[in-house]
Amino acid sequence: MINTINLPMLPKPIKNFTDVFAKLPSLGPRQATRLAFYIAKLGKEKIKEIATAITQLNDLSTCARCFRAHSDEGLAGQGKLCSICSDPTRSKHLVAIVEKETDLISLENTKKFNGWYLVVGELSKLGEFNPEQKLRLNSLKSFAKKELGGKIKEIILAINPTTYGDLSAATLKKELAEYAEKITRLGRGIPTGGEIEFADEDTLSNALERRF
């Protein structure tokens, strides 16, 4: 396959778009080039709409407790809490650590979780935390100390059940051991609605081990 980047044939605005978008997740250089030509054909109005959709991402606030990007009304601005963290009906003694907002949203959609979250950011495959992640974990620790008398009742490590996820979970567990009475992970087994016949060996082994 020929790489479409660095081609003299590529018009400059297309090349520039490709360079910028190919660095984003879920788009390779080929897809980015295709997308550029596609958008170019949509015309001035539509191009403005797309650019505005991007610029508006500046309007998001970051929650001071869970660090998720939000635009909850009346709660914008740094240092303010989001609608989840400021909800008095939710338990402060149960926290789920997620890597990213989309994981949080999936959990929230179950309507089965009544604690709060910590969005820690995508974890390195080397099992180390970057400065921003350290800051977020420290914020969790000091919340436990100041507001919960030292220990959170339960921390759920809602990290993907992959090899790297297991590694990250182990590191997190060590890091947070003294700040929680219990540290758990999400259950593993055959996905609901799935078929045993099509489950891979690892999934099936886990399902056997965790039978109930």
Q: Which of 194, 187, 186, 190 is CA-nearest to residue 204?
A: 190
DSSP summary character for residue 180: E
Residue 159 CB, nearest distance to a copy of itself (Å)?
Answer: 16
Binding residue for a copy of itself, selected from 27, 148, 167, 204, defined by CB under 8 A: 27
Q: Is residue 89 at the binding interface for a copy of itself, with CB under 8 A as the rule?
A: no
Q: Which of 181, 175, 164, 171 is CA-nearest to residue 95?
A: 181
Q: Which is nearer to a copy of itself, 55 or 146 (CB)?
A: 55
Interaction residues for a copy of itself, span 98-137 (CB under 8 A): 100-102, 105-106, 108-109
Q: Is residue 31 at the binding interface for a copy of itself, with CB under 8 A as the rule?
A: yes
63: left (phi over 0), alpha (psi -120 to 50) or beta: beta
Q: Is residue 142 at the binding interface for a copy of itself, with CB under 8 A as the rule?
A: no
CB-neighbour burial class of residue 174 (10 A; exposed 0-12, middle 13-18, buried 19+): exposed
DSSP summary character for residue 64: T
DSSP summary character for residue 155: E
Residue 177 CB, nearest distance to a copy of itself (Å)?
Answer: 29
Q: Is residue 14 at the binding interface for a copy of itself, with CB under 8 A as the rule?
A: yes
Residue 97 CB, nearest distance to a copy of itself (Å)?
Answer: 17
Q: Which is nearer to a copy of itself, 12 or 146 (CB)?
A: 12
